[in-house]
A and B are shown apart, each in its own frame.
Chain A
């Protein structure tokens, strides 16, 4: 019953999306194009989609095995949190979540957007409805989450044990809020281009959505990276895997868009660039969704390898992105540019920022697709992995970091004041670190070294915009920018430190042996059996010390019966200056256990940096929202 109700809600939501699109296109004449009915329909669509998703969660929580999706992906013995998260731990469920976020975003815009001109809002809601319609169709036709299974099995196949983890409950919904949140920027840009209204008003309407989506993407990617790091047991945090790249590309576009939309909102400049980025960002989200679900690229992450579904999404993609880009190409001549600016100016810095971010985006795009392109052209199979991406993207990213030493402090339009005093703190510290690092650690590579240098240099440089201002009167948005840029510095430091200073030790040990890694002495005490709610394991007890105190680490080799899988549960000890990471392997024929130990100095800075970046964004978002509410109140008071 619940499943059928969910499916019915989905059909109704689709019908409303069609209605919304028709209204926006002019059904019902001038009356119909009034924004009020369109708003109502959008809200209805959002509510119905939420109902559909709630129905899916309900059948998972009740372990209703007569629903095919539950039978294939869940098990009655699972802890309830993983039954809940299991609703989106598969293709159909996650696609329903994707569409739900799309519909909710449209509903929220319909409910709260007051700044935009009514006709532009109608056009934007129409665009959002068009997006929703295609993806609803995809769900109903090719990925029905509510399909029944008759006869119902006694119990389900279980959820992949790698996914039974709190990180899973957090990572996909966060990412989807990000990916799909960018759809609003896309729709507003389309609406603005249709109505030839590309100005600061559009940027101000778009900005909170871009910020919110970008914050979510930052958190989602950070969480995903940390989850892979501690769950997969190989000590790495980014592999440039196609699915990882699929999540990074929208983030890169969104970061560029974020900076660009600020220029448009504040100065009226960078109009064409901002519209283009708004379209590209969500296009990258759709491309990412396609790459992950079509099976055309091999990846440890990819689920649902189904070329038919892939073709469906490809058609949607071509229509939506093709349509939007054609619109852009045709209307861009009408877009009046703002006043020109000097290259040494805030706008100039932001333009170069956007250029560098776009280059990184382009490189990741080309690198991810190149094996496909090469094979299509020559029949040769080749692989493009970390060696390519690291050597090509890192220098550009470091150039961007160097730009950040001065960019945020430049004045608008033309900065003729002396640069050196503002650049000095960051630059001086960078030079000191450069020299110091060459003396202390001559053997580390050039990229990690530059990462250390720029990371430390960016710490004071990020804070410089606060100098010479009354701190109490500084807008929250500026604090947000400072915090976000600090976060970038911290993340770069973490990455550089991990790259330069990680120590690894592989040891075949017997209980009683001691292994040394970095500053640590690790004593292998014993291996004991252990058990959990749906797994059994062999657990090693390791006692690690460096100087004073002993830390106990208990890495496990876990076995899940449903479906039968073995996983490594790494044991990690976090201290102020790094993480000690231990993995238990097999036992060899002489009774020695394979231990893999890493000492990773300051590696947690990577994810701490990501969180700071997201926090900075949140501060900026709050700052803007408060300011707008203040301004609106003032306007209302003035009219009394």
Chain B
């Protein structure tokens, strides 16, 4: 039996070990990132999420000025933690729109009451349709959309204090 054939099983083992060792050293990032970054916001029209707010449409994004869009829900605990930071970002003059996923108007109203309302517009997405169209896979997530309506950045998970400079930088880049 030729040398190659005799040592082939050993070679397969070494390849297996190499691939597996790579994964052990660089653990998997289990988040599924959206593929929509770099592409225009998909067309959508959402009704207002609760009384006293405006609904959200894709046309609200191609206004010449970049905006944030925060995908959240009143039943989402990390969204509560993130709320003060969104207020901070709003205070710095960055416009934020929102999409309330699988939410009841009363619950959204209570959420805004308790944690403040940094949003210009809030659209209701009761069946996650727009969330899926954006390639978002959970709440909360924040997208930065530039003035031409192109998605430029996706932040997955709640915005933590350490993330704020990053968000500001990405927003500057989108201008």
- Residues of chain A touching chain B, judged by Cβ–Cβ distance below 8 Å, are 272, 276, 280, 283, 287, 290, 294, 296, 298, 307, 310-311, 314, 317-318, 321-322, 325-326, 328-329, 332-333, 369, 372-373, 375-376, 381
Contacts and interface: CB of A to CB of B under 8 A. Distances in A.
Contact of A307 (B1, B24, B32): B24
A373 B1 contact: no
B10 A372 contact: no
Interface string B40-65: 00000000000000000000000000
Contact of B13 (A298, A325, A372, A381): A325
Contact of B10 (A287, A310, A329): A329
B19 A376 contact: yes
Contact of B24 (A296, A329, A381): A296
Given A272-B1, A332-B6, A296 B20 contact: yes
Contacts of A332: 1, 6
Contacts of A373: 19
Given A314-B20, A376-B22, A296 B1 contact: no
B32 A372 contact: no
A interface, over-half SS: helix
B9 A328 contact: yes
B30 A298 contact: yes
Contacts of B32: 381
Interface in B1-54: 1, 6-7, 9-10, 13-14, 16-17, 19-24, 27-28, 30, 32
A280 B9 CA distance: 9
A369 B10 contact: no
Nearest to B1: A332
Interface string B62-83: 0000000000000000000000
A28 to B, nearest CB: 33
A310 B24 contact: yes
A322 B10 contact: yes
21 contacts: A272-B1, A276-B9, A280-B9, A294-B20, A296-B23, A307-B27, A310-B24, A311-B21, A314-B17, A314-B21, A314-B24, A318-B13, A322-B13, A322-B14, A325-B13, A329-B9, A329-B10, A332-B6, A369-B19, A372-B20, A372-B23
Contacts of A372: 19-20, 23
Contact of A326 (B10, B20, B27, B30): B10
A56 B79 CA distance: 44
A322 B14 CA distance: 8
A222 to B, nearest CB: 28
Contact of A294 (B13, B16, B19, B24): B24
Contact of A369 (B1, B14, B16, B30): B16
Nearest to B6: A329
Interface of B: 1, 6-7, 9-10, 13-14, 16-17, 19-24, 27-28, 30, 32
Contacts of B24: 294, 296, 307, 310-311, 314
Nearest to A305: B27
A194 to B, nearest CB: 17
Contacts of B28: 296, 298, 375
Contact of A376 (B13, B17, B23, B27): B23
Contacts of B1: 272, 332-333
A326 B24 CA distance: 25
B13 A321 contact: yes
A381 B35 CA distance: 12
A381 B20 CA distance: 15
Given A332-B1, A372-B19, 7 more contacts: A272-B1, A296-B23, A311-B24, A325-B10, A326-B10, A329-B9, A369-B19
A253 to B, nearest CB: 12
Contacts of B20: 290, 294, 296, 314, 372
Nearest to B10: A325
Contacts of A322: 10, 13-14
A384 to B, nearest CB: 14
A307 B20 CA distance: 11
Given A296-B24, A311-B24, A381-B32, A329 B17 contact: no
A283 B13 CA distance: 10
A369 B13 CA distance: 13
A310 B27 CA distance: 12
Contacts of A328: 6, 9
A272 B13 CA distance: 18
A311 B17 CA distance: 10
Q: Which 10 A-B pairs have the closest CB atoms?
A: A329-B6, A325-B10, A296-B23, A325-B9, A329-B7, A376-B22, A307-B24, A318-B17, A321-B13, A376-B19
